[in-house]
A and B are shown apart, each in its own frame.
Chain A
Amino acid sequence: MSGTQFIFLVTAGVTLAAAVMTVSARKMMHAALWLVLALTGVAVLFALLRSSFFAVVQVLVYIGAIAILIIFSVMLTRRVVQEQRPRVNRLWWVAALLALMLFTGLVATLASWNGLYPTGQAVAGHPEDIGALGLALVDPAGFVIPFEVASLLLLAALVGAVFIALERKGGMQ
């Protein structure tokens, strides 16, 4: 077993354990902090895949912004912070069965799906070449439409959140 494999196994184990803790932690704030650890593990996995740009993006966007956003929204919710209700109810086995069926269905569908294997266009050049990625983002033959649509998506997210948040604030006062 090489050193890279060892690091991968440790990282994968920590990431999976943190993900399990995220959904099973009793306090929402602790779940948010476990989520940060899981996202850090994913960043390490990106680095192991020699995709430095995405490792940095993972840290900057997911840990630096989205996790903070989740923590703020946990702090915004009243009373839910200390909620200690029982985590299972009478119908837990129905939910488990449905989740298992959905999981097998998804695996069966994805196993026969061609999209898992890169058939379309890929960004040319070395994977660490960020300039090639930048050119592909604005190239009319590349990804310029997704690039501009991403900007519109961000606009819609901001407008929607400002609307909802200010509406709520007005209702409280």
Chain B
Amino acid sequence: MRHVAILLSLLVVGSGLVLGAKTLTIIMEEVPDTDVIRELIPEFEAQNPDLKIVIDAMPYEAMRDKILTEFLAPVSSYDIVIVDNPWTDEFAAGGFLVDLTDRVMALEGYDFEDFAKPIRDIGVYKGRIFGLPFYNYALAMIVRQDVFDEAGIPIPTNIADYVKACRQLTNKEEGFYGAAMQAKRGYKIFEEGKNYMYALGADVFDEEGNIVINSHLAKAALHLYIANLEAAAPKGAVNWGFDEAFRLMAAGKAATMITYNWMLPSLNNPEKTGELAGKFSFYEVPGGKAVLGAWYWSIPHNAADIEASWRFISWVTSKAVEKERVILGGAPVRMSVLTDPEVWEKGYGKQYYLTLVKILEDAEPLVRGLHAEEVIETIGLEMNNAAAGIKTVDQALDDAAKAVAEILGG
């Protein structure tokens, strides 16, 4: 009887505590940057005892449908959503996100201009701010420095030299490859292959908005990409995504990988790569211009308490908290943090952040616009058709151009 009484009183006290704090639920992706946010939450809750943060983390593929479903509900069960860059325009245009412009401008010392320009631009739709940068995933070239040094091959700075170096370093008989590639159809191949396009000056649209994905430069870039895939990557890479390419690199079976810049610390972590840790370096993608990816904090238009949600995202994206987040291992988005000597010292070193500054100076998302997701998937499908030998490069990119025109026309 006494035990029941104790249990009941504990329940009463517990429920009182829970009732005392309002819960803010955030949908997030299951990635290292989310773990960093988890570490920061106690600090926010201590400063805001009336708010409790709950993170609902899930795989990338499950997020977009779930976020959209919540947008269509009378009240969103998520108080804050994180939004990937291809979705921002579509969600903002649909009226699903709260316009944060006035709040951002009214916040003293917030300094919106401090976010790296290519990153902050993605969160802006028709001149209004709908997303505040969370973390970047700009692409970089990660290399096995020891392999390059031993072979006496200089780090390539243009795409032709890169393909040549990959070929020189490949020894298929011994199971060693010049490039760990991810040519799976859709997002993956486009994300990797568009760096080759940037290197040759090609793009999906020209400055007037005309579709130029089938330009001779884009075709030359895809030829180069496929040549590298065939000569310097495992044959199965035509169906590989990030997981397989990362495993190949982490297993010491590849010399280079064009991937997210924040993979470098993971590869240099002895728990993940054992004796190989410390042998990986990263550089700008050959050619200089990189594909930019970034995630954004946004508030659903139907969030239960928009002011409470704003309190959290204005805190987590502030200069001071961004600095803490980056020191804990988060991928930076603010220039003040990237150039802060304290961050260099406590984080991954000066070289890492300064290379990242260079990458972010010239980086651009795959595609923007209301149909970005479909355009990306469509071009990625056609590139994979060419990589798998199902279509010629000319056919594939001509078909991609036609399909993109249909998508935008529809």
- A and B associate: no
